[in-house]
């Protein structure tokens, strides 16, 4: 029923389509590398924890002035951490978006260039008469019942994305 003519290209396009479908999952670890807290943030966090521990040791009734002074320092450090967290979150979203766009563009460009280079190469020959689909499957190649790179990329993309959708969701 099926004769594989160019198995390397078949697998090559299958891998490219799989990577294209997995780009959102590949972006997450890359973006995580850029959004780690800085040493300054870690030091502020450690100081905040120390101040809170010191504040717990002080009685609010007996030493109200000292307790309030520590509370103001804690509030200041918390607001500083909140600002740093917002900056990091904004940076993380920008990095995720940029990396996603760049990866998707590189993969798409690779697929388009490869399809252009191998546009007349049949990947698979189907046995039998597929009359209504023959012209579509072999475009732009002239070999009857052939499946070319254009059709294979469409079939691979749709199939892989459909199969991976329940797993990745």
For the chain, what are the domain ranges? Answer: 2-168
Residue 58 makes CB contacts below 8 A (sequence gap 6+) with 66, 67, 70
Whether the predicted pLDDT of 112 surpasses 70: yes
What's the pTM? 0.70
Low-confidence winner among 9-18, 48-57, 135-144, 157-166 (lowest mean pLDDT): 135-144
| Tens digits of residue pLDDT in 24-45 | 888 888 888 877 777 888 888 8
Q: What is the pLDDT of residue 146?
A: 81
Q: What is the pLDDT of residue 20?
A: 92
For residues 126-134, average pLDDT: 75
Whether the predicted pLDDT of 164 surpasses 80: yes
What is the residue-averaged pLDDT of the chain?
Answer: 85
Higher pLDDT pick, 162 / 67 = 162
Confidence of residue 138 (pLDDT cuts 50, 70, 90): confident
């Amino acid at each position: 029923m099926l004769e594989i003519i160019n198995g390397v290209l078949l697998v090559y396009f299958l891998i490219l389509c799989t990577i294209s479908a997995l780009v959102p999952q590949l972006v997450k670890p890359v973006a995580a590398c850029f959004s780690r807290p800085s040493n300054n943030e870690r030091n502020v966090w450690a100081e905040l924890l120390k101040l809170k521990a010191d504040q717990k040791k002080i009685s609010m009734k007996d030493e109200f002035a000292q307790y309030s002074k520590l509370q103001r320092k804690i509030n200041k450090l918390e607001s500083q951490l909140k600002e740093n967290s917002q900056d990091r979150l904004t940076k993380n979203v920008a990095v995720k978006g940029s990396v996603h766009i760049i990866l998707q563009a590189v993969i798409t460009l690779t697929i388009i260039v490869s399809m252009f280079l191998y546009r007349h190469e049949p990947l698979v020959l189907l046995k039998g008469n597929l009359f209504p689909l023959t012209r579509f499957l072999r475009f732009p190649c002239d070999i009857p019942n052939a499946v070319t790179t254009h059709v294979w990329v469409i079939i691979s993309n749709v199939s892989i994305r459909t199969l991976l959708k329940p797993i990745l969701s």
